[in-house]
Amino acid sequence: MNDRADFYTRISECKLRPLWEVLDDLIPDEPKPKTQAMLWRYDAIRPFILESGRLITAQEAVRRVLVLENPGLPDSSLITSALYSGLQLILPGEIASSHRHSQSALRFILEGEGAYTAVDGERTIMHPGDFIITPSWTWHDHGNESQEPVVWLDGLDVPIVALFDAQFAERYPEQMQQIARAEGDSEARWASNMQPLTHEHRRRASPIFNYPYVTSRAALAKLMADGMMDAARGVKMRYINPLTGGWAMPTIGTFLQLLPKGFAGRPHRATDAAVYCCAEGEGSATIAGKRFDWGPHDVFVVPSWQMLELSASAESVLFSFSDRPVQEALDLLREEVA
Ligand code: 1HN
């Protein structure tokens, strides 16, 4: 044993290490996520979000966000080992100035009407429940021309891009980017079950950048009324890129699901850790045996391969996002219903 310890010390000077001492940690029998199950109650954190608005302007902060940091990933600014998430506030009259970066971002709007985000030359007004994307390397800025604070949930693929050391960011020379197309242009071009006869779309990400809640919510309601129902997930749909049928963004999968009042879902699990946000209703998520009760705008995390059991005491809508597209592309995704 002493011989070995001495050997390890001597080889460490040459930056060598014996695999046999770390093999089980490197290749565990099943996922052992550092990410912990966790729920943030919106009622509890909303006062802090508003307080941040009295302490710093959006301009000074660049982005005024309270990061949702997973307790299993201290000092990481991450919500799962593959994803970043936070709650962003923009007050009436403020502008969050334009920039772009290689990280892809999503927004899920929680409260307030009438703020806009501009992405790649077009503005869209944000309404609660809207799902908005900011694809990699697209200019984006936000502004609030309404009379009320606007809060949304951000999700970014920060650690995925960091894994590859492929981070780039750039500031736009002015506060707001040049607007090149009228509001609603992308929707007319790409979200009307048609597409322009000739076009050039260079990105993998969807050309649609606002998926309005009214549209998605109505689809879920119609399908539920007609009897669509998954025993584990209720009526769950994924947001797509209409050009390919693939994911809205290449690194982050996004979903919206409707649970009927009284839903008691079967336990299920998957290797993609997911962030859920309640759009409406109330219910509970039992994650690896631990129960979390959720209501409007609460956010909770389900770690990789932990059993999830969803129930709803009122008709409820959950938005969620995960690293599923990456795992699928790499033949890594596993899922099962118990
Ligand atoms: C970012 O650009 C935004 O544009 C929000 O609203 C959060 C977190 C990390 C890096 C960039 C935004 C972000 C971010």
Cα 293 to averaged position of ligand 1 atoms, centre (Å): 28
* pLDDT attached to residue 126: 98
Cα 63 to averaged position of ligand 1 atoms, centre (Å): 6
The Cα–Cα gap between 308 and 270 comes to: 9
The amino acid occupying position 6 is D
User: CA–CA distance from 176 to each of 172, 184, 186, 207, 235 (Å)?
Assistant: 8, 19, 19, 21, 39
Could you tell me the two tokens for 31? Answer: 């996922």
* pLDDT attached to residue 1: 63
Cα 65 to averaged position of ligand 1 atoms, centre (Å): 8
* pLDDT attached to residue 242: 95
Residue with CA closest to ligand 1 atom 6: 63
Edge-to-edge strand ranges of the sheet holding 210-211: 65-67, 84-90, 150-156, 105-111, 131-134, 210-211
Contact 68, 86 (CB under 8 A): yes
Q: Which atom of ligand 1 is nearest to the CA of 141?
A: 4
Residue with CA closest to ligand 1 atom 14: 63
Q: What is the chain's pLDDT, residue by residue, as a tens digit (338 residues)?
A: 689 999 999 999 999 999 999 999 999 999 999 999 999 999 999 999 999 999 999 999 999 999 999 999 999 999 999 999 999 999 999 999 999 999 999 999 999 999 999 999 999 999 999 999 999 999 999 999 999 999 999 999 999 999 999 999 999 999 999 999 999 999 999 999 999 999 877 799 999 999 999 999 999 999 999 999 999 999 999 999 999 999 999 999 999 999 999 999 999 999 999 999 999 999 999 999 999 999 999 999 999 999 999 999 999 999 999 999 999 999 999 999 99
215: phi then psi, degrees, rounded to nearest 5: -70, -50
| The CATH number, out of the four listed (3.30.70.20, 3.40.605.10, 3.40.50.300, 2.60.120.10), of the domain defined by the range 27-337 | 2.60.120.10
Cα 193 to averaged position of ligand 1 atoms, centre (Å): 31
**Ligand 1 pocket: which of 63, 100, 120, 140 to mutate (most atoms within 8 A of CB):** 63
The model's pLDDT over 7-49, given as tens digits with 9 standing for 90+, comes to 999 999 999 999 999 999 999 999 999 999 999 999 999 999 9
Cα 79 to averaged position of ligand 1 atoms, centre (Å): 14
User: CA–CA distance from 94 to each of 84, 127, 147, 150 (Å)?
Assistant: 24, 17, 11, 11
Residue with CA closest to ligand 1 atom 3: 63
The model's pLDDT over 131-184, given as tens digits with 9 standing for 90+, comes to 999 999 999 999 999 999 999 999 999 999 999 999 999 999 999 999 999 999
| SS3 annotation, the chain | CHHHHHHHHHHHCCCCCCHHHCHHHHCCCCCCCCCCCEEECHHHHHHHHHHHHHHCCHHHHCCCEEECCCCCCCCCCCCCCCCEEEEEEECCCCEEEEEEECCCEEEEEEECCCEEEEECCEEEEECCCCEEEECCCCCEEEEECCCCCEEEEEEECHHHHHHCCCCCEEECCCCCCCCCCCCCHHHHHHCCCCCCCCCCCCCCCCCCCEECHHHHHHHHHHHHHCCCCECCCEEEEECECCCCCCECCCCCEEEEEEECCCCECCCEEECCCEEEEEEECCEEEEECCEEEEECCCCEEEECCCCCEEEEECCCEEEEEEECHHHHHHCCCCCEEEC
Could you tell me the two tokens for 67? Answer: 């990061």
Cα 180 to averaged position of ligand 1 atoms, centre (Å): 22
What residues are in contact with ligand 1 under a 6 Å CB criterion? 63, 65, 84, 86, 88, 101, 103, 105, 140, 154, 156, 158
Give me the residue spans of the domains in the chain.
27-337
Contact 298, 87 (CB under 8 A): no
